[in-house]
Amino acid sequence: MSGAEALSRFAREHVAPVADRLIREPDFPYDIWKALGAAGHLGYGLEAWGGTKADQGQLFDLAEALADGVEVIGFATSWMTHHMVANGVIAPFATEAQAAAILPRVARGELSCCIAISEPGAGAHPKHLTSRAEKTADGWSLTGEKAWLTNGPIAGLFVVVAIVAEDAGRKRFGAFLVPEDAPGLTRTDSIRIDFARPSGHCGIRMDGVELPDEAFLGGAGDAVETVLKRFRRIEDAIGLATSSGGMAVEIRRLASVLSADQAAALGGLAADRELFRTAARALLIESQGDPASPAHEARLLSLRAFARGFQGRVRDLIAAAMQDDGFLKLLSRDMTELGRVAERVDQAKLARSGAVLLRSVD
């Protein structure tokens, strides 16, 4: 049995039976998360630290299988974020000592890590970030506030991006490993998010959090390039896998509530989902999880726009359904809202690309 098959089976047996509750309630299912770790499903890509080997294609299949099996896109988002922070931030940039202290616990499901970049009223744009890390005789002192932290409520460790210096008005950033029980760190209520349950969000406030030098993620260098921008690209790329899994659930649920008159429309969704899946999986494999090139970004933007259009057609079919499937409406809402999170940024990138084309014909 492949990893994706085993994960799908776990999802069907342990999560799908309570999916209706999970998609409606904000409480995170810690018991299911603990069982997920005990079964070996929280350490993919972390084989050097006791987890399971997984290449980019396998990670796509795993994320897709989980989203399809659990039927709750919010739960799949938490699983995806857990692996993105471990594989995309800590594993490549941690020292041997840092990795040895953190990643075996992550692989066993004993510890989850959260990326802390965005700030209240500023988003994640480096120009507007204000959290600072001041050098001290014994290490660092962190002050500032972060918001919109996916998996923040369940995190035992935060990877915090903060200003470490300013040169001629240009901010330089570093990344820090901050345990949840660090003196001076408190969780705060983030902006209320009424979708993608049970994936939790929170903020953190840092009031002079004292950290040793060993908390500095030195391998990350300029954290804007290696953590902030790279993490966003990885998040966008692997997020296509959970979208594909969610599309499969929507198609399956729609098949149970539509009439024969909608057969062609439903078949069209199924065909387009297969096209989306094939293209998204190829993108992740070819880019090794980091679609940084202009050509890869163009494909990513196209796929994300495709997914938003797909959700519009799903909503139309839900409206035409013979009966009311409350779960399907909630799933469609979650898929739609997650697709809208970066829509404004996507449109700005497309506008810049279009402007270049317009200038080329002047």
Domain enclosing residue 183, as ranges: 113-222
| 180, amino acid identity | E
* Main-chain dihedrals φ then ψ at residue 204, nearest 5 degrees: -135, 150
Q: Say whether pLDDT at 287 is over 80.
A: no
Residue 289 has pLDDT above 70, yes or no: no
Q: Are residues 294 and 321 both part of a single domain?
A: yes
User: What does the pLDDT average to over 110-127?
Assistant: 91
Q: How confident is the model at residue 290 (pLDDT cuts 50, 70, 90)?
A: low
pLDDT(192) > 80: no
Domain boundary among 107, 135, 151: 107
pLDDT of residue 266 exceeding 90: yes
Q: Give the pLDDT score at 191.
A: 67
Can you give the CATH number for the domain in which 18 is found? 1.10.540.10
Boundary (domain end) residue, out of 107, 133, 166: 107
The per-residue pLDDT for 296 is: 85
Based on the domain organization, do 188 and 239 belong to the same domain?
no
Name the pLDDT band for 332 (thresholds 50, 70, 90). Answer: very high
What's the mean pLDDT when you consider all of the chain?
Answer: 92
Separation of alpha carbons 342 and 56, rounded Å: 23
pLDDT exceeds 80 at position 265: yes
- Beta-carbon neighbour count of residue 247 at 10 Å? 25
For residue 277, the model assigns a pLDDT of 97
How many independent structural domains does the chain possess?
Answer: 3
Q: Are residues 232 and 322 in the same domain?
A: yes
Contact call for residues 273 and 247 (beta carbons, < 8 A): yes
For 196-216, the pLDDT digits (tens) are: 899 989 999 999 999 999 999
Residues 278 and 326 in one domain: yes
Looking at 222, 254, 274, which one is the last position of a domain? 222
What CATH number does residue 354 fall under? 1.20.140
Q: What is the CATH number of the domain that holds 129?
A: 2.40.110.10
Same domain, 65 and 133: no
The token pair at 43 is 């350490």
pTM for this model (two decimals): 0.92
| CA separation for the pair 36, 30 (Å, rounded) | 10
Please tell me whether residues 235 and 202 are part of one structural domain.
no
